[in-house]
Amino acid sequence: AQRVTQPEKLLSVFKGAPVELKCNYSYSGSPELFWYVQYSRQRLQLLLRHISRESIKGFTADLNKGETSFHLKKPFAQEEDSAMYYCALSGGSGGSNYKLTFGKGTLLTVNP
Amino acid sequence: NAGVMQNPRHLVRRRGQEARLRCSPMKGHSHVYWYRQLPEEGLKFMVYLQKENIIDESGMPKERFSAEFPKEGPSILRIQQVVRGDSAAYFCASSPSIVTYEQYFGPGTRLTVT
């Protein structure tokens, strides 16, 4: 069965400090991993996905298949980064890769 | 494009009543997905629909829950005889195709069963 684990429920950092939101997964096939973000009073939106290997709003995430991790990193946190972050995995049996499996989320607070 | 619309945003029902949650996908999107988020949990897949067809309902509870996406009108998630354990946030997403990363989420409906 596929599973996504985000070990930190809450993460608090100061502005300008590096931030890393952890995500580990279990999946028997080749997963597709995503990070979604939900800012206060806004809807869930895609932040980035591992296939694109891009940096969005200064965030990057590298898929480490050996450690089955997909940690989200930013070298210098900004106050506007405060939000709920969800790691998600796409996959399923029989090609049902439209199913997203989400972690429980990490609430990031960036203090001034 | 107004994005995925869900209504109501908040719904309170007494135990035993029916709950109807509506989702209007983005314009041009013919694929709709429903997810449920229980308190302190991540979103969990419930059902995937295309117009007039249920493609995958493997995440739906076997009883009391049903979903439809008619030719005209919004997608409906229907919960009959609600119980306290149904209290959750229900999210709808839509996509123009089956490609996963293109799922756009609505604001969710928060159902409270008293």
For A97, A100, B37, the CA distances from A94, given in Å and listed in that order, are: 8, 14, 25
| Cβ–Cβ contact A105 with B under 8 A | yes
Environment class of B74 (CB within 10 Å of its CB; exposed 0-12, middle 13-18, buried 19+): middle
Confidence of residue A92 (pLDDT cuts 50, 70, 90): low
Chain segment A7-62, per-residue pLDDT in tens: 999 999 999 999 999 999 998 877 889 999 999 989 999 999 887 778 889 999 98
B44–chain A nearest CA distance, Å: 6
The distance from CA A89 to its chain's CA centroid, rounded to whole angstroms, is: 10
Contact B107 A34 (CB under 8 A): no
Residue A56's domain comprises 3-111
Q: Mapping DSSP to helix (H, G, I), strand (E, B) and coil, where does residue B95 land?
A: strand
Q: Is it the case that residue A94 has pLDDT exceeding 70?
A: no
**CB-closest option in A96, A99, A102 to B42:** A102
- CB contacts of B98 in chain A (<8 Å) are 98
CATH code, domain carrying A105: 2.60.40.10
Give chain A's domain count: 1
Contact B101 A46 (CB under 8 A): yes
B71–chain A nearest CA distance, Å: 22
| Cβ–Cβ contact A46 with B under 8 A | yes
d(CA B104, CA B5): 10
Chain segment B63-98, per-residue pLDDT in tens: 999 999 999 999 999 999 999 999 999 999 999 877
Q: Find the mean pLDDT for residues A74-91.
A: 94
